[in-house]
Amino acid sequence: MKAGHRLLVLGIDPGTATTGFGLVEAVNNRNKLIHYGTVTTDAAADMSDRLCQISDKINEIITVYKPDAAAIEQIFYFKNAKTVITVAQSRGVILMTAAKAGLKIAEYTPLQVKQSVVGYGKADKKQVQIMVQSILNMENLPKPDDAADALAIAICHIHSCRMAKIYKGGLK
């Protein structure tokens, strides 16, 4: 990245019960934690209400923090078909919300995120948390898992952008 260039990425780990989010800012070669947490919905609520809650909260985060890009985890295979359908619905609402806000959107598989952050595509949750903690100079491990994953997704996008710049002629 050019000297003084700033990139603020909103990482999102989609879910219906819990959606993780994390904002990471990259300035030059340093990553800085801005904010992270989860959006939770009540399992007893109608699916349409839950999806609206997710959209509203993600839109609020975008409005407050004004990220440059959103990085969203792609769905991987679930054993439970019902789970994959509800996560897909959440992902669709999140993609739409980010697109309507005019954000650049990138999507990464769990394998890509782990490879980028840990250096090993089959890393476990704890390894990912430890690397996120180290990369962002956090005192404690990021928790819950959904929020830690969202931070890892944001870091993955930052790494991807840095690599793209290197391939295009180097970091100047």
Which residues are known catalytic residues? 13, 73, 146
| The residue type at 19 | T
Nearest to 69 by CA among 93, 28, 39, 99: 99
Nearest to 148 by CA among 135, 161, 165, 163: 135
Cβ contacts of 8 within 8 Å, gap of 6 or more: 23, 24, 25, 26, 34, 65, 66, 67, 68, 69
Paired strand residues for 11: 22, 71
Other C-beta atoms closer than 10 Å to the C-beta of 6 total: 12
Q: How far apart are CA 66 and CA 64, in angstroms?
A: 6
Cβ contacts of 125 within 8 Å, gap of 6 or more: 145, 148, 149
